[in-house]
Amino acid sequence: MSKDIPPIQKYMSYDPVSIDADKAIVDAEHLMKSNLIRHLPVMEGDVVVGILSDRDIKLARSIVQAADAIQVKHICHSDVYSVEPNTPIDKVVETMAEHQYGSAVVTQNGKLVGIFTTVDACRTLAEITRQRHH
């Protein structure tokens, strides 16, 4: 890792709110609204098995009339972009942009420790821009 490029742990959100894979869409919506977030790591025990976004929920609701009871494991993305806390931020952001990921789940020794979203990326860009111009 380059000394000049900070690791993702400097900018990630720690202890992210997550949801159990067996929970219903309505539970996910409640968590998102009450925590003002748009992405939820989906868990089976201590293992991240997916990522659920507010867009996934909107899509499910547009297709299925009685979507409230659908379990999040049936609509989440199982191809989770996961990185370690010491991964350089430029690599994370580059991969997110290239693959159009809305978030990166941060794990250490297989355990969820953080999340980095496009909102975090915008905040990071603002912070770095201010630092360079002061």
* Spans of all domains in the chain: 8-132
pLDDT, residue 132, reads: 85
Q: Is 88 exposed, middle or buried (0-12, 13-18, 19+ CB in 10 A)?
A: middle
SS3 content of the chain, % helix, strand, coil (to 5): 40, 30, 30
Angstrom distance (rounded) from CA 131 to CA 69: 47
Give CA 74 to chain center in angstroms.
Answer: 17
23 DSSP 8-state letter = S
Output the pLDDT for position 98.
Answer: 97
**pLDDT at residue 1, as a whole number:** 46
Contacts of residue 65, defined as CB under 8 A and 6 or more positions apart, other chains included, come to none
Homologous superfamily of domain range 8-132: CBS-domain (3.10.580.10)
- The reported pLDDT for the residue numbered 68 is 85
**SS3 at position 76:** coil
Phi and psi based region of residue 100 (left: phi greater than 0; alpha: psi -120 to 50; beta: remaining): left
Q: Looking at residue 48, what is its pLDDT?
A: 97
Position 65 scores a pLDDT of 84
Low-confidence ranges of the chain (pLDDT < 70): 1-3
pLDDT digits (tens, 9 = 90+) for 15-51: 999 999 999 999 999 999 999 999 999 999 999 999 9
Can you tell me the distance from the alpha carbon of 41 to that of 112, in angstroms, rounded to the nearest whole number?
Answer: 9
